[in-house]
Structure 1
């Protein structure tokens, strides 16, 4: 099987992103890959941070006869296992990481200033705090009192209902006797 190391286009229109892949020569540009070997993002502002390659695996594929495409060949010369721009790449990735870290921190600060309501499941909090326990206790007692008041009233209603049913039956029997 003839293998090429080439770019597989990802991303979207006007925002390309590529994966460096080992692919069969006959497969289409964005087709099935044998192995993904790295990424190439031409939109990254730091030129040396655009390509991130797995040099060990690229060396393996080159060793078994895979042919790189012209663009991938240039990337391998610069950022491969023995690339000429590896130190510059490490510095650029560090600078880019610092920018991203500061952007993430500022986003977190902005998010923390906006207070979102805390929605938690009751099962997540196994033991309520002391203030919550005292606040819930009167409510619970009030609910018990309501159910205690409702229970005798319900029992009285049940007791009266059969008695009311018995009276019409007795009246009906008395009427039959009178006839």
Structure 2
């Protein structure tokens, strides 16, 4: 199966919104997707907030041979670094919380009188 990373059009008339998806290349523009990888909303005024991405999943699909469309390549070029940093920060925060829970569970409970 030839997989492509492209945009799926959503929204309503004159207010389009796009999902960045991994999809079989034979599917129509709004067809059944394999996985959603992010979003793009061109109507958001703040340019840095127009895009959301899942960098680890995008890299996975590219590593197994998925080709990105021209528009998606441009989005990845401009926003991937920002979302990689956000994803790394979230992973570090989750690891820190997991370590705190593990330490809490390992500590013996105080005896009640």
Common fold by TM > 0.5: yes
How far residue 34 of structure 1 moved from its aligned partner, in angstroms, is 0.3
How far residue 79 of structure 1 moved from its aligned partner, in angstroms, is 1.5
In the TM superposition, structure 1's runs of 4+ consecutive aligned residues that sit over 4 Å from their partners are none
- The aligned counterpart of 1:57 is 57
Segments of 5+ residues of structure 1 without an aligned counterpart are 91-179
> Number of paired residues?
84
Report whether the alignment pairs 1:6 with 2:6: yes
Which fold has the larger relative contact order, with Cα–Cα distance below 8 Å and residues 6 or more apart in sequence? 2
- The aligned counterpart of 2:25 is 25
Q: What are the superposed Cα offsets for residues 99-156 of structure 1, whole Å, 9 maximum, x if unpaired?
A: xxxxxxxxxxxxxxxxxxxxxxxxxxxxxxxxxxxxxxxxxxxxxxxxxxxxxxxxxx
Q: As a proportion of its length, which structure holds more helix?
A: 1
How far residue 28 of structure 1 moved from its aligned partner, in angstroms, is 0.2
Task: Tell me the TM-score normalized by structure 2.
Answer: 0.71
Highest Rg: 1 or 2? 1
Q: What is the root-mean-square deviation in Å for CA atoms of aligned residues?
A: 1.3
**Alpha-carbon distance in 2 for matches of 1:13, 1:54:** 27
Q: As a proportion of its length, which structure holds more strand?
A: 2
Task: Tell me the TM-score normalized by structure 1.
Answer: 0.45
**Alpha-carbon distance in 1 for matches of 2:37, 2:7:** 10
